[in-house]
Amino acid sequence: MNFFRRIVKPQNAEDEAFYYELKELLNFKPIKLSYYKKAFTHRSLKLTDSKGNPVNYERLEFLGDAILGTVIASYLFKKVPYGDEGYLTQMRSKIVSREHLNSLGKDLDLIRLVKSNISKENVSNNIYGNIFESLIGAIYLDRGYNYCHQFIYEQVIMPYVDIERLEGKISSYKGFVIEWCQKKKKKYKFESYEDSGNQNKKYFSVRVSIDGNIVAKGRSTSKKKAEEIAAKRVYYAMQNQMANS
């Protein structure tokens, strides 16, 4: 590793403004701006490099996701010595859930730095979490693991990770309902059925039965989301029974 890498000075006013925004966001000096520019580039721009490879945040998102999971896993391993593999996996999933990462991205207002051909009002809500992960990937390439650890500790662990609160948080209602049914030896069924809606967008509907009785239904643009919505309604319909067992 070269410990004497020099910071690449911004070449123009736009780069200079970007550099200082990054410095304030990261709480340290970025070295190579090109990594961070890519981290905030949406694929709608259809940019490519000299070899024809796409230039956008998606590969950095993949890298950042792996690093974030590693840092959180290391933290939990040290912080919760009594946790077994299943417990640690579940807790990590709660911390790095898409919902949580989207919230983090919104809190940091990362969307303000994104370059895209899509208006900010029309982007998917998941872009906030995606950009957060791609930023971590850029930090890793630019400054290495220790700086990633510092950033994640300051932006995720310190302000948001409360072990006792997370222990009581349900990360997957479907998983919770299935686990409860298995524990109580109850028969359960998640059944998808034909959606009779007339909307242009395709919808999926799911009903959940326990011991032959339909408890709740869910509807969404994907089967997975519909199952989760239905399972959440099951939980709230049977909350007293599930909480006291």
pLDDT, one tens digit per residue, over 138-156 is 999 999 999 999 999 999 9
Are 116 and 130 members of one domain?
yes
* Binding site feature residues: 61, 130, 133
Q: Is 126 helix (H, G, I), strand (E, B) or coil?
A: coil
Could you say which residues of the chain have pLDDT below 70?
1-10, 196-200, 243-245
pLDDT, one tens digit per residue, over 74-89 is 999 999 998 888 889 9
Domain final residue, candidates 140, 167, 194: 167
CATH number at residue 67: 1.10.1520.10
In the prediction, which pLDDT does 196 show?
A: 61
Of the candidates 89, 90, 88, the one whose C-alpha atom is nearest the C-alpha of residue 78 is 88
Are 48 and 125 members of one domain?
yes
Are 152 and 185 members of one domain?
no
* Domain limits for position 197: 173-243
Are 208 and 142 members of one domain?
no
* Binding site feature residues for Mg(2+): 61, 130, 133
Number of other residues whose CB lies within 10 A of the CB of residue 180 = 19
Domain final residue, candidates 101, 134, 167: 167
What's the total number of domains in the chain? 2
Domain final residue, candidates 167, 190, 224: 167
In the prediction, which pLDDT does 60 show?
A: 97
Are 217 and 144 members of one domain?
no
Are 133 and 30 members of one domain?
yes
Tell me phi and psi for residue 24, to 5 degrees. -70, -40
Mind telling me the catalytic residues? 65, 133
